[in-house]
Amino acid sequence: MSKLAEFRRAEQALKEQLALLEKLQGDSGLKREMEFEDKLKALMEDYGMDLATVVAILNPQPVELEPVGPAAVMRRRPRQVKVYVQPVTGKRIETKGANHAQLKDWKAEFGAEVVEGWRLA
């Protein structure tokens, strides 16, 4: 692209931007927003506050309190289902804990390490 073409393109873009600026300067909504911003900055300066403090006052985030009693138990992650398959008989056990009668029998008969080797999930 030649320098002249680049200059003409930039000049055209500048004219469009100036037209937009003129249109916005006549907008009453923009004037109101600018007036509000000026007054807000003056108020913040009078009270010695920054923008983050003002936002925190106007839009406070809820404070999460630690639940007490039964609600505290609800936060605990649910137990995962463990599946054991006895390789000789093909018998399958699904349990969430180690207090399963058949699982206890297997661990007593074959040993805990061997039975844990049968675990699928």
Query: What is the average pLDDT across 40-67?
Result: 85
Tokens of 41: 């900055």
Residue 68 domain-assigned? no
Q: How far apart are CA 77 and CA 102, in angstroms?
A: 25
Instruction: State how far the Cα of 90 lies from the Cα of 65, in Å rounded to an integer.
Output: 49
Q: What is the pLDDT of residue 68?
A: 66
Q: Is residue 87 part of a domain?
A: yes
Domain co-membership, 9 together with 49? yes
The SS3 assignment for 4 reads helix
Q: The tokens of 27 are what?
A: 């907008």
Count of residues in the chain = 121
Instruction: Summarize pLDDT for 59-100 with one digit per residue, the tens.
Output: 888 777 666 666 555 667 888 899 999 988 889 999 988 788
**In the predicted structure, residue 47 carries a pLDDT above the cut 80:** yes
Same domain? 51 vs 23: yes
Q: Is residue 89 part of a domain?
A: yes
pLDDT for the residue 7:
93
Please count the structural domains in the chain: 2
What confidence score (pLDDT) does residue 72 get? 56
pTM of the model: 0.40
Range of the domain at 87: 75-117
User: Same domain, yes or no, for 80 and 111?
Assistant: yes
In the chain, % of residues over pLDDT 90? 44
Reported confidence tier of residue 121, pLDDT bands at 50, 70, 90: low
Whether residue 65 is contained in a domain is answered as no
- What spatial distance separates the first Cα and last Cα of the chain, rounded to whole Å? 65
